[in-house]
């Protein structure tokens, strides 16, 4: 199939998905506005992982190096291009702040109102948007070679950028997820959410690497290296999730236990099983075997399973806090409504890569070599 025909079909498919998602969201918002805000928060938290992972991996490579970047750079560049859309996509959810967060109600009777207030929430959100887009611009346009990291004289900027990214994503997870239950506190949740974002984005990037062009020779080695990184982040995510559960279970505090009780009851237990099964167990037992990291079919399958697991994880983190979380089809419609534009922007950056020079190297170059 010619590239132009494949591109047109992708455009049509993405537009159909967007239309379906928008119609579903519009109906859902008309019937259940609060349910729409909750569904959109979940999909916002999901798709944000794509550009955040792209920026993180480029900055890490600036400090560590690695030949795998020659294959990953075009896809990472396309992922980073989605940052403006992904960050601003939080607006439809945060318009309904009162439907999401109990601390916005009159007389919240909380001791931390100096932090949990609407003004501070919106101000921090604006800071995250500006900071993450600045880091995206740095990761996209700072001078780098095809597989070479940034020049040593500028590497300190990548180190500072990683520190800022770590702290800002940590505070974002507190604002957007932990504050859904103001009485709950966990110093580990930020690590878990950050690992989930990186794991989601890397799975999507690696999925494109696995299916976009034949993995032969050096390219197959690069795919195996990326799969090893994906396995490491999957193990880290599972570790911090388990440690949080273990600490909460051992402490047995009435301010913390209800957070888990809500999430191991009813349908949310099934969401937990999907999250752990697809997001950890399957990737661990498949990718721990070295030959599987070099198989395009296995790597692509595991990436899809991880993304499905992360969808379940976002629902598991957010929706149990509400007695009425909205219909399931509304959650799915929200994923399609934002996912369609994200895919179109990502694919467009891959196709027209030379217009988005990543460190002076055309993003479409690796794809042309396939």
Q: Which of 21-25, 86-90, 121-125, 249-253 is predicted least confidently?
A: 249-253
Q: Where are the alpha helices (DSSP H) in 89-179?
A: 91-94, 97-100, 118-141, 155-176
**Who has greater pLDDT, 148 or 340?**
340
Q: What separation in angstroms does the CA of 353 have from each of 259, 278, 292, 368? A: 45, 32, 30, 11
Percent of the chain with pLDDT over 90: 55
pLDDT digits (tens, 9 = 90+) for 184-220: 888 899 999 999 999 999 999 999 999 876 655 678 8
CB count in 10 Å sphere of residue 284: 14
Bridge-partner residues for 299, per DSSP?
A: none
The residue-averaged pLDDT of 303-325 equals: 92
Q: What is the pLDDT of residues 137-174, one digit of tens each?
A: 999 888 876 667 788 888 899 999 999 999 999 999 99
Query: pLDDT per residue over 259-276, tens digit each?
Result: 999 898 888 999 999 999
**What CA–CA distance (Å, rounded) separates 231 from 217?**
21
pLDDT at 368 over 50: no
At residue 361, φ and ψ (nearest 5 deg) are: -115, 120
Q: How much is the pTM? A: 0.90
User: What is the structure's pLDDT at 253?
Assistant: 82
Nearest to 133 by CA among 172, 160, 173, 165: 165
With contact defined as beta carbons under 8 Å apart, do 202 and 233 qualify?
A: yes
CA distance 360 to 305: 34
Q: How far apart are CA 137 and CA 131, in angstroms?
A: 10
pLDDT digits (tens, 9 = 90+) for 209-248: 998 766 556 788 899 999 999 999 999 999 999 999 999 8
Distances (CA, A) of 275 to 50, 109, 113, 291: 18, 34, 33, 25
Residue 220 and residue 275 in contact, taking contact as beta carbons nearer than 8 Å: no
Q: Convert the pLDDT of each residue in 71-108 to its tens digit.
A: 888 899 999 999 999 999 999 999 989 989 988 876 55
């Amino acid at each position: 199939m010619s590239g132009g025909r494949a591109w047109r079909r992708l455009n049509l498919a993405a537009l159909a998905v967007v239309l379906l998602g928008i119609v579903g969201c519009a109906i859902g918002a008309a019937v259940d506005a609060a349910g729409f805000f909750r569904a959109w928060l979940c999909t916002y938290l999901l798709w944000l992982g794509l550009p955040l992972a792209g920026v993180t991996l480029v900055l890490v490579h600036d400090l560590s190096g690695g030949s795998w970047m020659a294959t990953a750079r075009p896809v990472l560049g396309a992922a980073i291009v989605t940052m403006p859309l992904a960050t601003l996509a939080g607006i439809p959810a945060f318009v309904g702040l009162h439907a999401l967060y109990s601390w916005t109600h009159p007389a919240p009777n909380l001791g931390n109102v100096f932090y949990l207030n609407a003004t501070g929430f919106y101000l921090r959100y604006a800071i995250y948007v500006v900071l993450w887009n600045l880091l995206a611009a740095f990761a996209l346009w700072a001078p780098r070679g095809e597989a070479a990291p940034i020049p040593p004289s500028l590497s300190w900027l990548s180190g500072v950028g990683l520190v800022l990214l770590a702290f800002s994503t940590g505070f974002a997870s507190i604002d957007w997820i932990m504050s859904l239950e103001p009485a709950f506190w966990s110093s580990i949740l930020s690590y878990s959410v950050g690992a989930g974002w990186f794991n989601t984005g890397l799975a999507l990037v690696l999925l494109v690497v696995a299916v976009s062009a034949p993995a032969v020779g050096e390219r197959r080695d690069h795919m195996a290296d990326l799969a090893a990184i994906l396995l490491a982040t999957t193990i880290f995510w599972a570790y911090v999730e388990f440690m949080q559960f273990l600490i909460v279970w051992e402490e047995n505090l009435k301010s913390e236990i209800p957070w888990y009780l809500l999430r191991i009851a009813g349908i949310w237990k099934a969401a937990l099983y999907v999250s752990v099964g697809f997001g950890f167990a399957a990737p661990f037992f498949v990718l721990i075997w070295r030959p599987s990291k070099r198989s395009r079919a296995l790597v692509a399958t595991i990436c899809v399973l991880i993304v499905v697991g992360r969808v379940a994880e976002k629902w598991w983190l957010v929706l149990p806090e509400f007695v009425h979380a909205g219909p399931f089809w509304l959650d799915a419609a929200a994923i399609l409504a934002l996912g369609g534009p994200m895919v179109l922007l990502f694919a467009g950056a891959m196709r027209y890569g030379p217009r988005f020079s990543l460190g002076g190297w055309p993003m479409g170059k690796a794809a042309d070599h396939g």
